[in-house]
Amino acid sequence: MALGKSAAVVIGSFPLGESDRVVTFYSRDFGKIRGVAKASRRIRSRFAGALELFTLGEMVFFDTGRSELVRIDHFDVLHPFDRVRRDLERLGQASWIVECVARLTAEHDRHVALYALLVRSLRALEGPVPPARVAVCFGVRALETLGHRPRLDACTVCGRAYPFPRPALGAGGVVCEACAREDAGMVTARPATLAAFEWLRSERWEEALVMPIGRSENEIGAFLDAQVSRLIGQPTRTAKFLRDVRRLEPTSGVSP
Amino acid sequence: MTYYPEPVARLIEALQQLPGIGPKTAQRLTFFLLKRPVEEVRELSESLLAVKDRIVSCRTCFNVTEGDPCRICADPARDARLLCVVEEPNDLLAMERTGEYRGRYHVLLGALSPLDGVGPDDIKVKELLARLEGGETAEVILATNPNVEGEATALYLAKLLRPLGIRITRIARGLPVGGDLEYADQVTLSKALEGRREIG
Ligand SMILES: [Zn+2]
Ligand SMILES: [Zn+2]
């Protein structure tokens, strides 16, 4: 039995019983934590709206040790990130980011760098940078942080050193033309896209957000979504949501 | 659960399928029912069947009803120029309890949710559009929940309906964020309805 305290972001929730909620947090000091927030669905709850998706706060929880779920005692809002919820594209991209964090990490597995990346990305989504770019920058770095960095220096199948002509992107990284031919799941990638991927990974965050990379952004977005889907064993839910809401505005069709 | 007699295990299993009911509660309910008089339990099982036999979804507004169209859709005294969009039948009841609203409803039977992969095709959006193309409606009041899913749904509908040239309003933000509409008291909800503002 222990009392814990940490800064944390709300990354999901679902209703429990009459008026409670099970809330998933990504915390700085404990990684992913799931807990019960009693009576939080009441209109006048002591959590008073604090447990909305994307909210950053200071969480106090009690771990009884008898259940996977902790008891959420307090959550004091540090930053609500409410601007992220005010348009569908921002909301969709922020949800993709949060889905990656929720589904690529295990409970109580601490990754301070991932936590910092999450907060930084939410912050960027409140600013002028197009939301799809923020998600792509997040995705490139999140895979790296979690040890899933795609291999871009050699064919992941036969080991042939890159550069080679007509590269493709597949499971785990770049694939040469001969190996790609045997696997239907590959997407051809322009060399410019592979270069852009490297830049987004290694440049300063602020640079990566604004660097002009043209349609490589879409290609990297699609590749990242495919990578994440492969790692979690099913398509991401938020990519479907983004496709659905974009049908209203065919011009903003960027991935993920 | 093999040590329970088969009918007991079966009821526990069935109750566990209900939302918010875990194995412990299902056990408690089962043993509670075992102790009750048989008439009482029969009444319960008959009312369970009656909702499935007699209650349908209104094909116009998707409210739960005994007759189709429902009482509200069939009532000529209700203002057909006002259409209030809610997520669930419970929210419609909450609006009705205020006694303030005299228009009609459209129940979406859900809300958009990126993290659950719920898109517009998974709720009654197409049906809403079809109703509005009928032409009687002058104002659509978006009364979805004041949480992420409800706000996303309102944003989406405002954008979708804008080309129709109908006035679109959102119930006031005075409702506390994160709560369920069905838990709002009548005064708060009346105020939110009164203070609705144009969106989109
Ligand atoms: Zn190869
Ligand atoms: Zn009806």
- Tell me the pLDDT tens digit for each residue of A142-186: 999 999 999 999 999 899 999 999 898 887 899 998 888 776 667
Among A26, A114, A129, residue whose Cα is nearest residue A84: A129
Is the alpha carbon torsion for B94, B96, B101, B106 positive or negative?
positive
Name the architecture of domain A83-248: Up-down Bundle (1.20)
Residue A64 sits at φ, ψ, to 5 deg, of -75, -20
Listed in order, the ranges of chain A carrying CATH 2.40.50.140 are: 2-80
Fill in the amino acid letter for A235. Answer: P
Among A45, A178, A33, residue whose Cα is nearest residue A105: A33
Nearest residue, CB atoms, B121 vs list A87, A96, A244:
A244
* Locus of tokens 């009346």: B190
- pLDDT tens, chain B, 200 aa long: 457 889 999 999 999 898 778 888 899 999 999 999 999 999 999 999 988 888 889 999 999 998 889 999 999 999 999 999 999 999 999 999 988 899 999 999 999 999 998 999 999 999 999 999 877 899 999 999 888 899 999 999 999 998 898 999 998 766 666 666 776 777 777 777 877 888 76
Longest dimension (CA), chain B: 64
Q: Rounded to an integer, what distance in angstroms lies between the CA atom of residue A33 and that of residue A61?
A: 10
List the single best residue of A22, A244, A246 to mutate versus B (max B Cβ within 10 A).
A244
Dig out the tokens for B191 from the structure: 């105020």
- Where on the phi/psi map is residue B125: left (φ > 0), alpha (ψ -120 to 50), or beta? alpha
> Torsion angle of alpha carbons B66, B67, B71, B77, nearest 10°?
-170
Q: Rounded to an integer, what distance in angstroms lies between the CA atom of residue A203 and that of residue A226?
A: 23
Fold entry, domain A2-80: OB fold (Dihydrolipoamide Acetyltransferase, E2P) (2.40.50)
ipTM: 0.85
How near does any CA of chain A get to the CA of B182, in Å? 9
Q: Rounded to an integer, what distance in angstroms lies between the CA atom of residue B137 and that of residue B127?
A: 14
List the single best residue of A19, A20, A75, A241 to mutate versus B (max B Cβ within 10 A).
A241
Among A34, A22, A241, residue whose Cα is nearest residue B113: A241
pLDDT band, residue A256 (cuts 50/70/90): very low
Length of chain A in terms of residues written? 256
CB contact under 8 A, B185 and A43: yes
Q: Rounded to an integer, what distance in angstroms lies between the CA atom of residue A142 and that of residue A105?
A: 11
What is the pLDDT at residue A181?
79
Listed in order, the ranges of chain A carrying CATH 1.20.1440.120 are: 83-248
Centre of ligand 2 from the C-alpha of residue B126, in Å: 16
B140 membership: H or E segment, kind and range: strand B139-142
What is the pLDDT at residue B178?
61
In this predicted model, what pLDDT tens digit does every residue of A193-214 receive, in sequence order?
999 999 999 999 999 999 999 9
